[in-house]
């Protein structure tokens, strides 16, 4: 139903709003950065305003804009339904700006409903501070007051090969517990973090003590486990004390194996090396150790704790949310999406899940941008993971509304579709002789040596084939002791999983080509996708039950073949229920990586209650098992039994963060820049669930409550944003009330569907 059909019933804005402070733009961003005026020293924010004098000293960390034409974003006041125009001023000094003068750019009154614009003024010089602010006209042509100003600095030599990012920040933390034991002192920081460590210690004469840090404790809980596992961190060092009281900073060990990989992301010099740990143990110390004597300095990328929250009637689900949200913050320690502490290398599949979950818990986009650029030119070996470049670019555009990444790298994304691997069947394969040197060069695959070929992965870890992987260095180790995480997948020349993801990438390229007015490519990718769909069903679908076989010459049906086909839209409508039932019966037969695809497919196709049950499960293959195991970040695998060399800080295990937001609470952008969003909650049998999530356009709050006879949905939609809302029509007498007024709305597939729903606070009830 269109908003115009029921606009008259919306609750009127109370008269007292006219007595409130004038409307004003907030949430200013320069080149997507929330804090372009940040000034730091060794990761610590300084109470200094960004100005040319600060720049000239060349001793501080500054957020640098990597463009001569930055993009500006802002949020509307929550009382504004939409904007009709804006005026933006950019000035060379704050005094001029205070006089409402833009000597570099005065946009004048620009008719626009967007809350963003590219800079269009005089050329900006590098290494100089600029200042901007704006005002807007709302839908009633009422003028806002000017925003608070924001300062920014442009790079000396701006490069479109780089993207604007803020510096890493370092935050001092005190222990949550200091306990004296028989061994000495046991300290708990409650959660693990990538951090530095310093202690204030007193000695009457020279002395030597032992300092241990780690991620796990022994069974007695007050002693760090010195043998936690191959990649679960533990470090012990001797510390020489001098007479008197001094602060001592602990030096971390060099990881020679990791450091030998030239693709490892290095820590910046202003931060130095960090180490992941939760616990600290001090042995042999005769002095008294207090909480104030111990400082752990956590390092992470900028993170707004208030940008998101979640609570529900299922306490396990709440704990899983907290685990995943914290993982997004804690694993951002090096300024890229990396696989964890073991390698510190970006991987496409890791980055894709990390990106979506990061967006769900915090409206921050610079980390994804840098990771996306890195992965375009430093690809990894799995076939499917190349395709994730396209998905990441699309979500970047959808959430930010900033088209510059796709404009810059559109031709690279075309290559990443892997159309070069397709043949007369319309399917793609890595085993039909199409992987040539020219193909590798186009993909920028220049760093895997003799093992340059793409290889289908399906899921990870994989089972070792006969003869093992001795000829492939990156397959060596003990992680293949378990049969693998791919549900017995039978690999063939043509594989269903790879081609499902290929289809999904082609459909996204259609969307990209449409938005970027590339009509020839719209036709190309549409044709390829339709041809592929026909070939896929002919090759892989079992006509007797609608299920998907793993490959062309096998009848084996894995959870993976079916969940990938379901999630990426290849299952005919008549067969959806059979496929949903099939993958549901297999429970969690995939890895933490595969769970992203599994949960998406279930939520999008009527399996919401089962998906919620999987996220809130207490089985071994669950997120609760990570918590029970003792980890405070998501793990690389469900348990050491499935990957003996796992680590405890892998963000690719954090799928529930984005699944809860995007699929369970149903909050996603529809249009680029999130000025049109959807709210389609699917809370299954939960009594209640409430969420806050943030977009570049503002924060959205959703609360669902249900009893036997009533369903209520409370929404808070930010100014200038409209929503597409679906609310289940299964309660009570099936009457819909909006802000207390009954609405004659049609029921579509079991839900009331309200389109172009306005901003503001609203209560919808089915009773």
What CATH number did the domain enclosing 732 receive? 2.60.420.10
Question: Which stretches does DSSP call E strand in 275-338?
Answer: 275-283, 294-300, 309-312
Q: What integer pLDDT is reported at residue 256 of this predicted model?
A: 86
Which two tokens mark 729? 């029509």
DSSP calls for 349-393: HHHHHHHHHHHHH----HHHHHHHHHHHHS--SBHHHHHHHHHHH
For residues 182 and 89, what is the distance between their CA atoms, to the nearest angstrom?
A: 65
What CATH number did the domain enclosing 258 receive? 2.60.120.260
Residue 479 lies in a domain: yes
Residue 160 lies in a domain: no
Of the three residues 266, 300, 334, the one that is the final residue of a domain is 300
Region 172-181: what's the mean pLDDT? 97
Residues 594 and 554 reside in one and the same domain: yes
Cα dihedral sign for 697, 33, 661, 496?
positive
Whether the per-residue pLDDT at 458 is higher than 80: the answer is yes
Among candidates 615, 599, 608, which has minimal Cα distance to 564? 599
For residues 84 and 76, what is the distance between their CA atoms, to the nearest angstrom?
A: 11
Residues 561 and 687 reside in one and the same domain: no
DSSP calls for 402-462: --HHHHHHHHHHHHHT-GGGB-TTS-B-SSSS---HHHHHHHT--SSGGG-S-B--SSSSP
Q: What integer pLDDT is reported at residue 530 of this predicted model?
A: 97
Measured CA to CA in angstroms, residue 556 lies from 262, 429, 725 at distances of 40, 19, 40
Region 443-461: what's the mean pLDDT? 80
Of the three residues 300, 317, 345, the one that is the final residue of a domain is 300
**What spatial distance separates the first Cα and last Cα of the chain, rounded to whole Å?**
19
Q: What integer pLDDT is reported at residue 425 of this predicted model?
A: 93
Whether the per-residue pLDDT at 468 is higher than 80: the answer is no
For residues 726 and 747, what is the distance between their CA atoms, to the nearest angstrom?
A: 10
**604 φ, ψ to 5°?**
-80, -10
Reduced to 3 states (helix: H, G, I; strand: E, B; else coil), residue 660 is helix
Q: What is the pLDDT of residues 473-512, one digit of tens each?
A: 434 434 445 578 999 999 999 999 999 999 999 999 999 9
Residues 188 and 289 reside in one and the same domain: yes
Residues 616 and 715 reside in one and the same domain: no
**Residues with Cβ within 8 Å of residue 363, at least 6 apart in sequence:** 304, 307, 399, 694, 695, 696
Region 529-554: what's the mean pLDDT? 98
Write down the pTM of the prediction.
0.94
Whether the per-residue pLDDT at 163 is higher than 90: the answer is no
What is the total count of domains within the chain?
4
Residues 451 and 471 reside in one and the same domain: yes
Whether the per-residue pLDDT at 351 is higher than 60: the answer is yes
Whether the per-residue pLDDT at 709 is higher than 80: the answer is yes
Q: What is the pLDDT of residues 99-109, one digit of tens each?
A: 999 999 999 99
Among candidates 636, 635, 452, 485, which has minimal Cα distance to 558? 485
Question: Which stretches does DSSP call E strand in 168-274?
Answer: 169-173, 177-180, 184-203, 207-214, 234-241, 244-249
For residues 92 and 95, what is the distance between their CA atoms, to the nearest angstrom?
A: 9
CB-based contact 224:281 (threshold 8 Å): yes
pLDDT band at 627 (very low <50, low <70, confident <90, very high): very high
Of the three residues 252, 274, 300, the one that is the final residue of a domain is 300
Residue 8 lies in a domain: no
Residues 440 and 554 reside in one and the same domain: yes
Reduced to 3 states (helix: H, G, I; strand: E, B; else coil), residue 626 is helix
Residue 424 lies in a domain: yes
Q: What integer pLDDT is reported at residue 66 of this predicted model?
A: 93
What CATH number did the domain enclosing 445 receive? 1.50.10.10
Q: Other CB atoms closer than 10 Å to residue 311's CB: what's the count?
A: 15
For residues 439 and 418, what is the distance between their CA atoms, to the nearest angstrom?
A: 9
Question: Which of 94-103, 216-225, 300-309, 487-496 comes out lowest in average pLDDT?
Answer: 216-225
Q: What integer pLDDT is reported at residue 21 of this predicted model?
A: 56
CB-based contact 757:3 (threshold 8 Å): yes
Residues 256 and 317 reside in one and the same domain: no
Whether the per-residue pLDDT at 642 is higher than 70: the answer is yes
**Preceding omega of 461 cis (within 30 degrees of 0):** yes
CB-based contact 132:97 (threshold 8 Å): yes
Q: What integer pLDDT is reported at residue 721 of this predicted model?
A: 95
pLDDT band at 160 (very low <50, low <70, confident <90, very high): low
Q: What is the pLDDT of residues 655-669, one digit of tens each?
A: 999 999 999 999 999
Whether the per-residue pLDDT at 158 is higher than 80: the answer is no
Q: What integer pLDDT is reported at residue 156 of this predicted model?
A: 87
Among candidates 220, 221, 249, which has minimal Cα distance to 237? 249
For residues 354 and 592, what is the distance between their CA atoms, to the nearest angstrom?
A: 12
Residue 377 lies in a domain: yes
Look at the block and give the residue holding tokens 């709305």. 745
160 HSE (CA, 13 A, CB side): 10
Whether the per-residue pLDDT at 15 is higher than 60: the answer is no
Burial class (CB in 10 A: 0-12, 13-18, 19+), 461: buried
Among candidates 327, 258, 209, which has minimal Cα distance to 626? 327
Region 742-764: what's the mean pLDDT? 91
For residues 141 and 143, what is the distance between their CA atoms, to the nearest angstrom?
A: 6
pLDDT band at 5 (very low <50, low <70, confident <90, very high): very low
Which two tokens mark 146? 């000017």
Residues 513 and 430 reside in one and the same domain: yes
For residues 695 and 689, what is the distance between their CA atoms, to the nearest angstrom?
A: 20
Among candidates 507, 532, 533, 535, which has minimal Cα distance to 521? 507
Whether the per-residue pLDDT at 161 is higher than 80: the answer is no
Residues 495 and 590 reside in one and the same domain: yes
Among candidates 373, 414, 368, 374, which has minimal Cα distance to 390? 414
**407-411: Cβ within 8 A, 24+ apart:** 407/516, 408/160, 409/373, 409/376, 410/512, 410/516, 410/518
What CATH number did the domain enclosing 64 receive? 2.60.40.10
pLDDT band at 138 (very low <50, low <70, confident <90, very high): confident
Reduced to 3 states (helix: H, G, I; strand: E, B; else coil), residue 18 is helix
**Residues with Cβ within 8 Å of residue 381, at least 6 apart in sequence:** 448, 451, 453, 454, 455, 474
Provide the phi-psi class of 719: left if phi over 0, else alpha when psi is between -120 and 50, else beta.
beta
CB-based contact 728:766 (threshold 8 Å): yes
Which two tokens mark 753? 């569907």
Residue 12 lies in a domain: no
Range of the domain at 702: 676-766
Q: What integer pLDDT is reported at residue 9 of this predicted model?
A: 39
Question: Which of 141-145, 415-419, 541-545 comes out lowest in average pLDDT?
Answer: 141-145
Residues 277 and 225 reside in one and the same domain: yes
Residues of the chain above pLDDT 70, percent: 93
Residue 392 lies in a domain: yes
Q: What is the pLDDT of residues 395-417, one digit of tens each?
A: 999 999 999 999 999 999 999 99
Residues 624 and 717 reside in one and the same domain: no
Q: DSSP code of 708?
A: S
Residue 13 lies in a domain: no
Residues of the chain above pLDDT 90, percent: 84
For residues 697 and 719, what is the distance between their CA atoms, to the nearest angstrom?
A: 8
Residues 407 and 521 reside in one and the same domain: yes
Q: What integer pLDDT is reported at residue 462 of this predicted model?
A: 81
Q: What is the pLDDT of residues 243-256, one digit of tens each?
A: 999 999 999 999 88
């Amino acid at each position: 139903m269109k908003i115009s059909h029921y606009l008259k019933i919306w609750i009127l804005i109370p008269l007292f709003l006219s007595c409130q402070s004038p409307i004003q733009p907030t949430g200013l961003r320069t080149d997507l950065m929330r804090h372009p005026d940040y000034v730091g020293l060794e990761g610590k924010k300084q109470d200094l305003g960004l100005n040319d004098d600060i720049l000239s000293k060349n001793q501080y960390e500054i957020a640098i804009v990597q463009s001569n034409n930055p993009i500006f974003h802002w949020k509307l006041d929550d009382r504004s339904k939409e904007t009709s125009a804006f005026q933006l001023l950019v000035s060379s000094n704050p005094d001029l700006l205070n006089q409402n003068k833009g000597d570099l750019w005065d946009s004048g009154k620009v008719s626009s409903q967007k809350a963003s614009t590219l800079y269009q003024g005089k050329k900006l010089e590098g290494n100089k501070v600029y200042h901007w602010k704006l005002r807007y006209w709302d839908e009633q042509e009422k003028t806002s007051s000017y925003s608070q100003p924001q300062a920014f600095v442009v790079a000396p030599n701006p490069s479109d090969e780089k993207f604007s990012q803020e510096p890493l920040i370092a935050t001092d933390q005190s222990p949550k517990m200091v306990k004296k034991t028989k061994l000495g002192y046991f300290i708990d920081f409650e959660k693990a973090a990538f951090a530095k460590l310093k202690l204030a210690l007193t000695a009457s004469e020279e002395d030597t003590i032992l300092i241990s840090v780690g991620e796990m404790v022994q069974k007695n809980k007050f002693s760090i486990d010195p043998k936690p596992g191959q990649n679960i961190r533990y470090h012990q060092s001797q510390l020489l004390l001098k007479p008197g009281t001094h602060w001592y900073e602990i030096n971390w060990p060099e990881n020679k194996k990791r450091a030998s990989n030239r693709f490892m992301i290095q820590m910046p010099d202003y931060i130095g090396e960090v180490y992941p740990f939760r616990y600290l143990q001090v042995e042999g110390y005769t002095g008294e150790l207090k909480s104030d004597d111990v400082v752990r300095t956590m390092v992470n990328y900028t993170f707004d704790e208030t940008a998101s929250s979640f609570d529900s009637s299922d306490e396990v689900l709440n704990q899983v949310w907290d685990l995943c949200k914290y993982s997004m913050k804690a694993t951002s320690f090096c300024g890229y999406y990396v696989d964890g502490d073991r390698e510190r290398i970006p991987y496409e599949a890791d980055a894709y899940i990390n990106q979506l979950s990061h967006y769900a818990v915090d409206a921050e986009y610079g980390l994804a941008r840098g990771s996306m650029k890195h992965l375009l030119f430093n690809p990894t070996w799995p076939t499917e993971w190349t395709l994730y470049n396209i998905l990441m670019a699309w979500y970047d555009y959808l959430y930010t509304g900033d088209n510059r990444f796709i404009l810059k790298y559109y031709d690279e994304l075309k290559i990443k579709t892997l159309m070069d691997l397709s043949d007369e069947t319309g399917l793609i394969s890595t085993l039909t002789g199409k992987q040539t040197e020219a193909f590798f060069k186009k993909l920028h695959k220049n760093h895997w040596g003799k093992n340059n070929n793409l290889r289908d992965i399906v899921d990870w870890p994989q089972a070792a084939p006969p003869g093992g992987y001795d000829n492939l260095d990156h397959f060596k180790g003990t992680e293949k002791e378990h049969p693998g995480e791919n549900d017995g997948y039978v690999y063939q020349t043509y594989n269903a999983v790879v081609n499902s993801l290929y289809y999904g990438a082609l459909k996204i390229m259609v969307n990209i080509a449409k938005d970027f007015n590339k009509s020839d490519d719209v036709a190309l990718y549409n044709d390829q996708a339709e041809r592929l769909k026909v070939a896929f069903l002919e090759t892989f679908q079992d006509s007797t039950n609608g299920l998907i076989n793993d490959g062309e010459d096998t009848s084996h049906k894995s959870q993976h073949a079916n969940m990938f086909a379901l999630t990426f839209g290849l299952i005919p409508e008549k067969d959806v229920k059979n496929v949903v039932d099939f993958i549901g019966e297999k429970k969690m037969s995939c890895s933490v990586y595969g769970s992203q695809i599994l949960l998406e497919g279930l939520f999008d196709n009527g399996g919401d209650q089962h998906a919620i049950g999987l996220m809130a499960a207490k089985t071994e293959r669950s997120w609760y098992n990570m918590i029970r195991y003792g980890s405070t970040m998501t793990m690389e695998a469900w348990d050491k039994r499935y990957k003996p060399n796992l680590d405890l800080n892998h963000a690719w295990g954090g799928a529930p963060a984005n699944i809860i937001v995007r699929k369970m609470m149903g909050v996603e952008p529809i249009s680029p820049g999130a000025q049109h969003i959807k709210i389609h909650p699917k809370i299954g049998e939960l009594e209640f669930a409430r969420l806050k999530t943030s977009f570049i356009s503002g924060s959205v709050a959703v609360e669902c409550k249900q009893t036997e006879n009533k369903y209520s949905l409370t929404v808070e939609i930010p100014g200038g944003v409209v929503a597409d809302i679906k609310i289940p029509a299964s309660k009570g007498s099936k009457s819909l009330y909006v802000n207390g007024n009954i609405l004659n709305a049609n029921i579509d597939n079991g839900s009331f569907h309200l389109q172009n729903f306005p901003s503001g606070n609203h209560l919808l009830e089915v009773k």
